[in-house]
Structure 1
Amino acid sequence: MASLRSPSAKKSALVGGLGISVMLALGTSMATAAPTPGPKVTPAPVNCPAEEGVSPTTITLGFFSPKTGPAAANFAGGEEAAKLRVAQENAKGGIFGRKIQMIGYDDMASAATQVTVANKAMTSDHVFGIVMTSANDAAFPTFKAANLPVTGFNVLAMSTDKNTFSVTGPPSPGVIATAVFERLKSTGASKIALIAHNTPGAATGMVNTSKANQVINAMTQALLIIDEPQGAHDATSTALRVKQSGADAAYMSMYVDGVVSISQALAQQGVSLKGVVGAGIIDPAVISKAAGPLEGMIGTTYGTIPVGVPGNVAMRTFVNGMKAAGLNPYSATPPVAYAATDLMIEGLKRAGKCLTRASFVDNLRKVTSFDAHGLIPQKVSFQPGVTPMGSPNNCSWYIQVKNGVPVPDKAPTCGKLVNTTTMAVVG
C-alpha cells in the first residue's frame, strides 16, 4: 500500500460557503426502511480474491469529517447520518450478505491531521473505501495511488481523480454554475456583493463566480470580498463595506456561523438588502438562535433538496430515520452525508459479489443518472463531461426564511455553466 506523505495544507472549500455540526452512536435498532429495495441477499462468496477491508461477512468503510477544530460546527451530524444509511442497508442483510462497518475519523479539516488519520484508516484499519464530508483534500493523492474509492461532495479532486465521486456532481474551480444569480434576480435585486471566507477554495470559487457573472452579465458587481474570517466573528467592517458599496443583494460563501455573523452586523448597521443568499442556512434552530437577522434570507443546502419538499420519499425516509435516532435532520451536512453514503452503497452493489476497489471504481464510473433516489435535484453522471469525471450540477433547490421558518422553493433554480478560463458558457 502506498505510504502517506504530508502534502502542503491545501484546503478545498465546499461550494456555497460551508458551515457545519457533531456525534452520537447509531445502532441498527434505529434503522428505517432504505429508499429502495436492495438486492436479494445471497451468501458472500468464499473464493473471492483478497481485498482490503473486505471479508466474507463484512465490508469496512471510513467516514472522514472535522469533529473538532474551526470547521466542526459546520459539519456536525454528518457521521451520524452516514451511519444511519449504513444501518438501513445492514437491516436488509447488507451487500450480498456482507454487513457494512463504518469507522469515524476526525480530520479537523487540517491537511496534516487528514494525512495522519488517512494513514491509520488505510494501514491500521484497512478500510475498503471512504465517505467524506470535509474541507480538505490533503490525503487524496494517496487515495488515488491506492485506487481507494471515495464518495462525498465538492472536494476539487473529485473533478480529476477517477477513484473519487461527488454525489452533487464533480466540482470544478474553473466552471461555475450561475443559479445563484438567477435566484437573486428573482427578488428584484440588481447590484451584488460577493463575500467568501479566507480559505483558498472559497476565495478562488468566489473570484470565478465573479468572472462568471461578467460572462452572463446577470447583475452589477458592487463588491468582492475574499478574505472574510472563518466562523463566527465581528463583521461590522464588512457590513459597512456592503453599505457603502450600494449593493442591494449579497451572496455569502462561508461557514454557517460566518453567514450569521455578517447578517447580524448588517442588521446592526441598518443595511436592508432585497436578496441575500447564505450557504447552509436551512436549520430552524440556527435561524431561531440568530433572532431575526436571517428573516427573508435565501438559504442553500450543500447540494441536496431541502427538508420539507412535499412528496419526496427519499427525503421523508431520511428525516424519519434521523428523528427516530434522536438526531437533527435540518443541519446542513447530514443530508449530503447520507446521500454520499447512498452513493457508496450504490458502488458496492454495482461492484459485484467478488468486491474489489477496481470493480467498484470501474462500474460506478459508468453511471450516468444518479440522484440518491431523489435527494439530489438533478441527475448526476460520472462519465466525462465538462470535467473528465462529469459535469457540475447547474441547479440548486433553495429555501427562504419566512416568519422564522425555512420554506422550500416550489422548484429548483437552474442557471448556466460558465468556464471562467475561456470565459464561455459550456452548459
Structure 2
Amino acid sequence: MELPRPSTARRVAALALSVSSLAVALTACGQGDGTASGSVSCSTSAPGVTKTEIKAGLLWGDSGSGASSMRAFRAGVDARLDLENDRGGVNGRKITYAWRDDASDQNINLLGARQLVDEEKVFGIIEAPGATTGSVAWLGQRNVPVTGLASDPGWVGLANMFSFYYLGNGSSTVYGDVIRAQGGTRAALITTGSKSELDFSRQYSASLAAAHVQIVKEFPVSESTGYQNMAQQLKQNNIDTLAGVLLPDAAVNILPAARALGVQLKVVIMPLGYDPKLLQTEGPALAGTLISTETRPWQLNTPEQKTFLDAMNQYSPEIQPPNQDSGADGYVSADLFVRGLKAAGPCPTRESFIAGLRAVRDYDGAGLVPGNIDLSQNYKQPRPCYYFVQVSKDGKQFVPLFDGQPQCGSPISAQQMDQLLS
C-alpha cells in the first residue's frame, strides 16, 4: 500500500535547562530570514524556521520488523499536521517534515537523527517507538526537541524528550491492581526471549507482587510451545490468571485448550490486541479477555475521537480502520509538537519550545489519552495510566471497563522493584 506523502511532523530532544536559561528561552526569537509572521521582528535564527515554514524531522520504521504497525503511526502524524496546516499553521507557518527510515534498528536510528539534524537542518523531531535508544543521548546533547511515545526507558529524566507516556525503569501497581480487582490471585506469567519483553516481564512481575497476586508458573512462549501441555499445567496448579507478555497469537491457542480442559480463568489480560480486525478472525477464542491500551476506548465516541477519525479519513484514508492505536500514537506525538510550537511563541527557538512545553500542566493529548498530564513532572517519575477494554462474551465487540476511566496505580521505583523480585 502506498504511504501518504510527507506532509508534516516533528520531534523534541534537549537537555535539562537551568532557571535562567528557561527565562531566556521564553523571550528568544527564531527565524531564518529574521522576520516573523504577523510583522513580529525576530532577532535570532533557529534551524528549520522561516517566515512561512517550520521544518520538522520524522524518524520511523518504514522497513524492518515493526514496519507494518508503523505505517499507521506516520499516517497519524500526517493527519494531525495536515489538519493544523489547513487551519493556517502555527503563527502563520506551515509545518513540513523530512523523514528517515530507521528500520527499527538502533544504529540506523542514530544515523537518521544525525542526517535530519545536520543535513536537513530540522527544528525538532517526531520519533516513532521501536529503536529510539539509538538517538536519545545524541539528540539530548544537541538540544533538539523530540516528541513521541517514550517506550524506551532512556527518555526518563530528559527535559527535551516529550511524551504522554513513559515506560521508565521501575514499574507501577496498575496491572496488579486491575487483576486483583477482577478476582485474580494465582497467576501464570507468559514470557518471551527478547530483552525489551524480558524487561517488561520484570515490571509486570513487580506489579503483581505489589498487589499480592502470586506468580505460580512462568511459561516462555515460542513457535514450538505445546499449548495443550500448558493448559494441563494451568489446571494442575489451579491458575486463575493469565498475564504478562500474552500476545494475541499465543492467546488464541492457549485459551481454547484451557477451556477444553475445564480451566476456570478469572482474568486473562493482554498488553496488545485492541484491534477490531482481531475480533473478526479470533473474537470467540478471545472472549472475556482484558486488553490494556494507552488510548481512550473508541466505544466512548467522544467529540475529540470524532475529530481524530475525520482527520484520518480525510488526510490518511489508506489506513483502515482509522482507529488503530499506532495511528493515535502518531497523531498525539504530532499534537505534542504542535502544542510545543504554540508554547514557543511567534519566534520559536529550540529552547523556547522546550521551556514552553515543559510549563504545560494540563496537556490532554488531543482528547485521545488520559488527560490533564503535567508535562513539567511526568518525565521525572513515570506513572503509566491505561484504559482497559474487555472482549465481550460472544467475541463480537470490545467493552470499556471501569466506566471508561483510566487506571493509573502507584509508581514502583527501580529499587522497590528489585526488592519485590528478590
TM-score normalized by the length of structure 2: 0.81
1:269 to 257, 281, 291: 257
Shift, 1:79, TM fit: 0.2
Look up the equivalent residue of 1:165 and give its one-letter code: F
> Structure 1 vs Structure 2: percent identity of aligned residues?
23
Q: CA, structure 1 residues 333+234, in 2 after alignment: closer, same or farther (shift >3 Å)?
A: farther
CA distance in 2, matches of 1:294, 1:44: 59
1:309 to 282, 296, 300: 300
Shift, 1:165, TM fit: 1.0
Query: How do 1:240-319 residues align onto structure 2 when only pairs under 5 Å count?
Result: 240=230, 243=234, 246-253=238-245, 259-267=247-255, 269-271=257-259, 272=263, 273-290=265-282, 292-301=284-293, 303-310=294-301, 312-319=302-309
Look up the equivalent residue of 1:287 and give its one-letter code: L
The answer as to whether partners of 2:3 and 2:71 remain within 8 angstroms in 1 is no
CA distance in 2, matches of 1:134, 1:144: 17
Q: Could you say which residue in structure 2 is the equivalent of 1:421? A: 415
- Which runs of 4 or more aligned residues in structure 1 lie more than 6 Å from their structure 2 counterparts after TM superposition? none
Q: Could you say which residue in structure 1 is the equivalent of 2:147? A: 151
- After superposition, what is the alpha-carbon deviation per residue over 1:140-160, rounded to whole angstroms, capped at 9, x for unaligned? 111101111111122222212
Shift, 1:394, TM fit: 4.5
Query: How do 1:13-412 residues align onto structure 2 when only pairs under 5 Å count?
Result: 24-25=3-4, 43=38, 45=40, 47-136=42-131, 137-153=133-149, 154-168=151-165, 170-174=166-170, 176-217=171-212, 219-224=213-218, 228=221, 233-236=223-226, 240=230, 243=234, 246-253=238-245, 259-267=247-255, 269-271=257-259, 272=263, 273-290=265-282, 292-301=284-293, 303-310=294-301, 312-324=302-314, 325-326=316-317, 327=319, 328-384=321-377, 389-402=379-392, 403-409=395-401, 410=403, 411-412=405-406
Specify the SS of the correspondent of 1:64: strand
Specify the SS of the correspondent of 2:167: coil
Q: CA, structure 1 residues 216+56, in 2 after alignment: closer, same or farther (shift >3 Å)?
A: same
Shift, 1:357, TM fit: 0.7
Q: CA, structure 1 residues 291+215, in 2 after alignment: closer, same or farther (shift >3 Å)?
A: closer
Look up the equivalent residue of 1:149 and give its one-letter code: P
Look up the equivalent residue of 1:374 and give its one-letter code: G
Shift, 1:83, TM fit: 0.7
CA distance in 1, matches of 2:193, 2:345: 43
Specify the SS of the correspondent of 1:299: strand
- Stretches of structure 2 that go unaligned for 5 or more consecutive residues are 8-35
- Paired residue total: 376
Specify the SS of the correspondent of 1:277: strand
Q: CA, structure 1 residues 330+246, in 2 after alignment: closer, same or farther (shift >3 Å)?
A: farther
Shift, 1:194, TM fit: 2.6
Specify the SS of the correspondent of 2:412: strand
Q: CA, structure 1 residues 116+99, in 2 after alignment: closer, same or farther (shift >3 Å)?
A: same
TM-score normalized by the length of structure 1: 0.80
Q: Could you say which residue in structure 2 is the equivalent of 1:12? A: none
CA distance in 2, matches of 1:198, 1:54: 45
CA distance in 2, matches of 1:291, 1:333: 21
Specify the SS of the correspondent of 1:25: coil
Specify the SS of the correspondent of 2:134: coil
CA distance in 2, matches of 1:247, 1:71: 33
Shift, 1:238, TM fit: 9.5
Q: Could you say which residue in structure 2 is the equivalent of 1:14? A: none
- Stretches of structure 1 that go unaligned for 5 or more consecutive residues are 1-21, 29-40
Shift, 1:206, TM fit: 1.9
Specify the SS of the correspondent of 2:64: coil
